[in-house]
Structure 1
């Protein structure tokens, strides 16, 4: 079994094709879409976790490349500095994956890197600059 977080980049000519559908139906892969930006007649991307047995996984990746989808590993890591954090919780509101969260009743911010999809939303709202992206 293989499971990886990857980024699929689609040209405008591919956006309206059922590419994700074929990964599920033809290659028996499990898709967990983490983030996407797809618009008709424009380029798009999907950040997803893709998993399945190794033969189907590799065949699925080959299919993507053959139809013209650019496949990239999800690179970059969000690093959270707990000492710099002001514990305001702003980042927790904007984190779509729940990687940054606040516990009750102590109202402390925590970071679970295994849930992070490196969308960088937290970077935009952290006044203390307690989060950074490393590539």
Structure 2
């Protein structure tokens, strides 16, 4: 079983289409939606885990790109500001996937963005606000941009 965490951006022209249903029906993939913001007649953003056999996954990903969905790895959407982080470890206590963990014996907090599920618990917990959710910022900026208004 092949699985990846993805950020999908839907342009306004296809936001009302049954895209996820087609992934299941036509490409034999399963999914877990972690977060979704869909704006009718505007645009949409979905954070999901997509899984299936490798061949079906690749074909499903190509389908998404062919219809105009922008596909990003979740690793592109979550960042840690190393200058703000003071290695307190609070984030490691709430991270359900182990993407944030303490390297011992150095006691250094490490972030494995490939394991991140974008739950955003670390963002709420971090006292120094070192964890940044970039796809939320992009969506907010696009929503405020008059060029993106219907």
TM-score (norm: length of structure 1): 0.66
Instruction: Answer yes or no: is 1:69 the counterpart of 2:73.
Output: no
Give yes or no for contact 1:7–1:72 (8 Å, CA) kept in 2. yes
- Name the CA shift for 1:130/1:40 in 2 (closer, same or farther; >3 Å): closer
Contact kept? 2:34, 2:119, Cα under 8 Å: no
Could you tell me how far apart the structure 2 residues matched to 1:11 and 1:119 are?
Answer: 23
User: 1:108 maps to which residue?
Assistant: none
Query: Is the alpha carbon distance of 1:74 and 1:61 closer, same or farther for their aligned partners in structure 2, counting shifts above 3 Å?
Result: same
What count of residue pairs does the alignment treat as equivalent? 117
User: Does residue 121 of structure 2 align to residue 132 of structure 1?
Assistant: no
| Structure 1 stretches of 4+ moved >3 Å | 76-79, 113-116, 119-122, 124-127
Aligned residue number for residue 19 of structure 2: 19
Structure with the largest fraction of helix: 2
Question: For the structure 1 residues 130 and 64, does the alpha-carbon distance in structure 2 shift closer, same or farther, using more than 3 Å as the test?
Answer: closer
Alignment-derived partner of residue 102 in structure 2: none
Unmatched tracts of structure 1, length 5 or more: 101-112
Rounded to whole Å, the distance in 2 between the matches of 1:47 and 1:71 is: 10
TM-score w.r.t. length of structure 2: 0.60
Superposed CA RMSD: 3.5
CA 1:134/1:24 → structure 2, altered by over 3 Å: closer, same or farther?
closer
Shift in Å, 1:134: 9.4
Q: 1:10-49 alignment to 2 at 5 Å?
A: 10-49=10-49
What SS is found at the alignment partner of 2:6?
strand
Structure-2 residue corresponding to 1:2: 2
Query: Counterparts of 1:94-105 in structure 2 under 5 Å?
Result: 98=96
Give the structure with the higher percent strand.
1
Query: Which consecutive unaligned segments of at least 5 residues does structure 2 have?
Result: 99-111, 135-150
